Structure 1
Amino acid sequence: MQMDKDRLKRLIRAGRSQVSAHRVIRGGQLVNVMSSEIYPADVAIYEDRVVAIGDVQGYIGDETDIIDATGKFLVPGLIDGHLHSECSKLSITSFAKAVVPCGTTCIVSGLDEYISVSGIEGLKEVFAEIEASPLKVFWGAPYKTPYTFPQSTVSYNFTQETHKEVQTWPECFGVWETVREAVLEEDDDTLGALAEAHANRMPIFGCAPMARGKDLNGYLCAGVRLDHESYDHEEVVEKMRNGMHMLIRESSVTHFLKENIRAVTEVNPALARRVSFCTDDVTATDILEKGHMDHVVRLAIKDGVDPMTAIQMGSINSAEAYRIDHLVGSITPGKIADILFIDSPETFNVEAVITGGKLVSKGRDLTYELNAPKRSAVLSSELKCEKTTKEDFEFRVDMEEGTAEVLSMNVVGPFVRKRRDVTLKVKNHIVQPDTEQDALMVSVVERFGRNGNKSLAFCSGWKLKKGAMASSAAPDDNNIVVMGADANDMSIAVNHLIENGGGQVIVEGGEILEFLSLPVGGIASDLDAKEIAHREALLNAAAQALGCDLPEPLMYMFFLPITAIPDYAITDVGPVDCIALETFDPILGLNPTKG
């Protein structure tokens, strides 16, 4: 995306047809998202840019490559406006191989999970990996790391001083994932990052689920431009009436599109021009079975959005929201030539993909071999923590026998945990998990060798009858999260991850049932999406065999350390009340046995 005077001269001359186009797409129907029109038009491309649309006969030379698009519709490449690609467990290379054939040519991401495990050095390696892939990543510098309140432990703390440096990088396009709590609590590093953004004229990307009224007003006064989290369409409408660009999220576990699109289909169609899409977190299985941003566009059409409007939501609207529309989002002169060939706007099936002016995908497969780079020690998956024992996962109290009243974090959907009071037995000073009452133990183990923290609390909703499961991929801090009905199995699960450099594991009766290795930082893999999807299916089946009936047991579990969502979470510093933003004691009361 770099531009110098010599390159500008070449592009200007190409736009004036003083030099021939490198390739021309002929015979297609152009879906012009700028004018909301569909009409026959050819497209001339020079280097990686569109230089002309319409009648481009004068741009064709002896060496121009002609691409036939007869019977196809030409659509701008799709943009995922907010994505943690790491949550797919696919490396950037593997993720690109999976989503580019679906029509996703750009994503906006903080790459924050990589930062949490490998710092700035690892981030630079990921930037180099992106350069070699057909997927563009518009990077937003995380407002801080970690995102948690109180602050949990990560390998690298992103501060105001970091922002002073990285906001000057050419890769940086804004401040990423600025959560409401950090703004309203006037967190010093957060306000410092935002102050730097104002000075550098950088847009500020938000994360404000359920922000309404005065809290929303205060949040907006910090300069936040857009948000990707609304739990109902009324929230979408209020935010948009107050000037925000809105991203409707449709992830693998949070299906918000059907509800949130009502802001456009039922309340005010005029809002559509400032609505775009994101997936946030998506699994390899879903990409293979449903697609990616193409799937979201199809869902919007199915729910009553006009096809042209849905395509705009998937392309130019997102580009404008993020102030990158001078580069991407439309098939117009001067823009990067990211172009999809689809069957029709109504059905929106992607048949071929051009990125940066080159045909990179045809028939849902890349046209060339794309391999991941050799990984350095910076992005290795060494877990720098001591092995555990079963005693680490036994909740001990100052009472030998009796019962304990405990607060169990009850999962209600992947992003909401509510209070559930449970009475559990105490034997030999240990509070006993109870599978009949669906009360399990849960812990987060610090894995960066900084303090050795291990937290312990109670959770409900997974319905495990035995065994344990653990993951070293667990945003926002990617420490090891483990839950189970048996302390020994929990210890075995954690130790298996430590011994094998991270991943996800299911254990029962002291035996490893399933294991997925995540050698890239302990959070991702260079395996193809098909292989990751296969392993996901085996992990899910193993969890279900232990009694869990959630659709994505491990994904629901690894969201537990996120403190920006209601009402409870757990990090390495302890269980967290996400409303009070402080740790709490899960023991509400002790009732000794009367002797």
Structure 2
Amino acid sequence: MEASYFDMVTGRAPAELRIDNVRIVDVFSDEVRLGSVCVGDGRILGFSKMEALDVYDAQGAYLIPGLIDGHVHIESSMLCPARFAELVLPFGTTTVVADPHEIANVKGMDGLRYMLEASRELPLSVRIMLSSCVPALPIEDSGATLEAADLAPMLTDPDVGGLAEMMNVPGLLDGAPDVLAKVGIARAAGKVVDGHAPMLSGRSLDAYVALGVTTDHECTTPEELRERVARGMYVLLREGSAGREVKKLLPGLTTGNHRRCLFCTDDRQPADILERGHINGILKMAVEGGLDAVDAVRMATLNAAECYGMRDRGAIAPGLRADLVLVKDLKEFKVLACWAQGRLVAREGRMVEKLDMLWPGLLHSSVNIAPLPERPFSVKVPSGKARVIGLQPHSLITECRVQDVVTAEDGEVELEANPGLLKVAVIERHHATGKTGVGLLDAQYGLQNGAIATTIAHDSHNIVVAGDNEDDMLAAVRELERIGGGIVMVAKGEVLDELPLPIGGLMSDQPADEVAQKLNELLRLACFHYRIWEGADAFMTLSFLALPVIPHFKITARGLFDGDTFSFVDVDATK
């Protein structure tokens, strides 16, 4: 007969685990003390050196609470939930607050339910936030539309934390009934409403907060961070593969405001995680940037738990979940061992065992495009002055650059006559509507000698393709259609390499290291064959070109979108 939690707590039965000779990082008292921690029935029993069935000698290493990623799209790792868990648990992340916005935009409620059910039995605790913007904006062409009535029943699920990032800022501030309804059901259920408000300020920010939004992960300056904390918001310092704001925001942290701040990855690829770590890598970066180590740990644990109402975790104390991470020191944050609810799940950078995954079923069939015209990527600029999408280094923010282009007599932009200039297009791939938006991309992206196409195109996840010639662009799209989604790289009509992502065109069921290895091969190819700019991530930068909720200038299946005027514009700058 197994001993009960009560018996272990009161000493009537031995603890299941005792970790000895460990430096305990106390995020409550701001102390680090040498001692022992006892665990039983998935929870922390206390610090007394009680009898235990298993004893682990930490040899003076540091024990910190399980790390929490405050906002992540699991799909951006290109892994299904089980494989994602296998990737991040060895880095000490034991809880993630996940917005399945990507798969919801492809498969709607079926996508939401899959992510919820596929995560339930994992040692990684996945708190699902219900996607608020499917589609992200009314002007997008997603695979589904989710209304408040669709989401409301799921808010009673204990694994659902609230409403995910409210990207439709104009809709909320203008009082759009469907937007207000979604925020209303989350608030009525007493759950969190996440924000997404780049560059929002002043009176508009006041209204955004007053209407119920409590977090934001889109700050890019210390001033924005302070402005949000002053309004009672939690600010998530993001360090993803493309959006990297932690170093920019560290100067905004003070002893007075850091308790309202936490960390998130948002969108990070598996190769990047293997290279730089996960939340533990952000801790290293923050401490190198001058943040006190215990303050950094608190932001990655207790602050995040408090923000999302997870009162059972975030610290090392009796009664809390035994989500524990042993690290070598408080500088590098190299993870030696990770326990999830008292169970050793990873050691020395490796999972103890492989995790079972839920079969995705209907999510496999997701690429459905209409027959394409003879020249689907035609762009005409009769005036010779074109609006071109311009990039910024390591940023999701783009801008409109007006530049002269050489055209044929009929105004057609021929790339051969404009060295370095690229064409970029988004093709609707959910309902075979035939919608295709085509534009021009600044030479700074650096793509040469071919084309890249992917079904990862935030947030509606249509096909986005860029190239220096139309033939390779078309060949890349055709191959994507054949493999059911993923990433395809083409040169001179031949497929150089590809990464199939059959689950919704977004995720793989293969092991994380295999996906990461393949992605690394693609990235090397992007660097050495295509000469992609070092200030860009070849695939993530391309994916975010299709996200109109991020300033300033994007492209969708309906054409070029000016985020400042919230309107579609012609490639010809005189129109």
CA contact (8 A) 2:380 2:572 kept: no
1:480 aligned partner: 463
Match for 1:496 among 461, 479, 483? 479
> Cα distance, 1:531 vs. partner?
2.3
1:552 aligned partner: 537
Match for 2:264 among 245, 260, 278? 278
Q: In structure 2, what is the Cα distance between the partners aligned to 1:579 and 1:20?
A: 63
Q: In structure 2, what is the Cα distance between the partners aligned to 1:507 and 1:70?
A: 52
Match for 2:437 among 452, 455, 461? 455
2:331 aligned partner: 346
CA contact (8 A) 1:565 1:578 kept: yes
Q: In structure 1, what is the Cα distance between the partners aligned to 2:414 and 2:73?
A: 33
Match for 2:159 among 171, 174, 182? 171
- SS in structure 1 opposite 2:280? helix
Match for 1:90 among 79, 84, 100? 79
**What do the CA deviations read for 1:186-233 (whole angstroms, capped 9, x no partner)?**
332221111112211111111112122112111111121111111111
1:321 aligned partner: 307
Q: In structure 2, what is the Cα distance between the partners aligned to 1:542 and 1:578?
A: 32
CA contact (8 A) 1:153 1:450 kept: no
Match for 1:306 among 272, 292, 316? 292
> Cα distance, 1:56 vs. partner?
4.3
2:206 aligned partner: 217
2:145 is the alignment partner of 1:160: no
2:99 aligned partner: 110
Letter in 2 for 1:45: V
| Alignment map for 1:243-258 (pairs within 5 Å) | 243-258=232-247
Match for 2:489 among 506, 518, 524? 506
Compare 435-444 and 224-233 and name the one that shifted more. 435-444
1:534 aligned partner: 517
> Cα distance, 1:448 vs. partner?
1.0
1:366 aligned partner: 351
1:128 aligned partner: 117
2:401 is the alignment partner of 1:424: no
Q: In structure 2, what is the Cα distance between the partners aligned to 1:421 and 1:154?
A: 29
Compare 282-291 and 540-549 and name the one that shifted more. 540-549
> Cα distance, 1:176 vs. partner?
0.8
Letter in 1 for 2:520: A
Letter in 2 for 1:442: V
| Alignment map for 1:374-385 (pairs within 5 Å) | 374-376=359-361, 378-385=362-369
**What do the CA deviations read for 1:512-558 (whole angstroms, capped 9, x no partner)?**
11211111211111223332233223323333323422441121010
CA contact (8 A) 2:127 2:160 kept: yes
Distance change in 2, residues 1:547/1:29 (3 Å): closer
Residue ranges of structure 1 left out of the alignment (5+ in a row): 1-6, 591-595
CA contact (8 A) 2:21 2:59 kept: yes
> Cα distance, 1:445 vs. partner?
0.9
**What do the CA deviations read for 1:312-331 (whole angstroms, capped 9, x no partner)?**
1111111111111x122112
TM-score in terms of structure 1 length: 0.91
CA contact (8 A) 1:382 1:498 kept: no
CA contact (8 A) 1:298 1:347 kept: yes
CA contact (8 A) 1:433 1:441 kept: no
**What do the CA deviations read for 1:37-70 (whole angstroms, capped 9, x no partner)?**
22233222222222x222142xx36xx3333323
Q: CA RMSD in A?
A: 2.2
Q: In structure 2, what is the Cα distance between the partners aligned to 1:342 and 1:465?
A: 43
Q: In structure 2, what is the Cα distance between the partners aligned to 1:280 and 1:390?
A: 38
Match for 1:404 among 384, 402, 416? 384
Q: In structure 2, what is the Cα distance between the partners aligned to 1:417 and 1:437?
A: 21
Letter in 2 for 1:249: R
1:445 aligned partner: 427
1:469 aligned partner: 452
Letter in 2 for 1:486: N
CA contact (8 A) 2:72 2:96 kept: yes
- SS in structure 2 opposite 1:269? coil
**What do the CA deviations read for 1:561-592 (whole angstroms, capped 9, x no partner)?**
111111111112222111222222222349xx
Q: In structure 2, what is the Cα distance between the partners aligned to 1:244 and 1:437?
A: 47
2:57 aligned partner: 68
Distance change in 2, residues 1:458/1:10 (3 Å): same
CA contact (8 A) 2:407 2:414 kept: no
Q: In structure 1, what is the Cα distance between the partners aligned to 2:458 and 2:11?
A: 50
2:373 is the alignment partner of 1:392: no
**What do the CA deviations read for 1:462-496 (whole angstroms, capped 9, x no partner)?**
23344211100122111101112212211111111
CA contact (8 A) 1:153 1:477 kept: yes
Distance change in 2, residues 1:536/1:229 (3 Å): same
2:506 is the alignment partner of 1:523: yes
- SS in structure 1 opposite 2:472? helix
Letter in 1 for 2:318: P
Letter in 2 for 1:169: D
- SS in structure 2 opposite 1:406? strand
Distance change in 2, residues 1:14/1:428 (3 Å): farther
Q: In structure 1, what is the Cα distance between the partners aligned to 2:170 and 2:275?
A: 36
Q: In structure 1, what is the Cα distance between the partners aligned to 2:438 and 2:70?
A: 35
Letter in 2 for 1:243: G
Compare 543-552 and 329-338 and name the one that shifted more. 543-552
Q: In structure 2, what is the Cα distance between the partners aligned to 1:585 and 1:200?
A: 44
CA contact (8 A) 1:433 1:439 kept: no
CA contact (8 A) 1:387 1:495 kept: no
Compare 537-546 and 157-166 and name the one that shifted more. 537-546
- SS in structure 2 opposite 1:224? coil
**What do the CA deviations read for 1:349-386 (whole angstroms, capped 9, x no partner)?**
2100000210011110011122433331x220441113
> Cα distance, 1:428 vs. partner?
5.9
CA contact (8 A) 1:390 1:488 kept: no
Match for 2:46 among 53, 70, 74? 53
1:4 aligned partner: none
> Cα distance, 1:112 vs. partner?
1.2
Distance change in 2, residues 1:540/1:578 (3 Å): same
> Cα distance, 1:430 vs. partner?
5.4
Q: In structure 2, what is the Cα distance between the partners aligned to 1:161 and 1:433?
A: 49
1:415 aligned partner: 396
2:37 aligned partner: 43
TM-score in terms of structure 2 length: 0.94
> Cα distance, 1:269 vs. partner?
2.1
Compare 490-499 and 456-465 and name the one that shifted more. 456-465
Q: In structure 2, what is the Cα distance between the partners aligned to 1:522 and 1:154?
A: 13
CA contact (8 A) 1:106 1:136 kept: yes
2:549 aligned partner: 564
Match for 1:146 among 129, 135, 139? 135
2:18 is the alignment partner of 1:24: yes
CA contact (8 A) 1:15 1:333 kept: no
Task: State, as a whole percentage, how many aligned pairs show the same letter.
Answer: 29
Q: In structure 2, what is the Cα distance between the partners aligned to 1:493 and 1:481?
A: 10
Distance change in 2, residues 1:220/1:375 (3 Å): closer
- SS in structure 2 opposite 1:499? helix
Q: In structure 1, what is the Cα distance between the partners aligned to 2:454 and 2:155?
A: 32
Q: In structure 2, what is the Cα distance between the partners aligned to 1:186 and 1:458?
A: 35
Q: In structure 1, what is the Cα distance between the partners aligned to 2:158 and 2:374?
A: 49
Q: In structure 2, what is the Cα distance between the partners aligned to 1:433 and 1:280?
A: 37
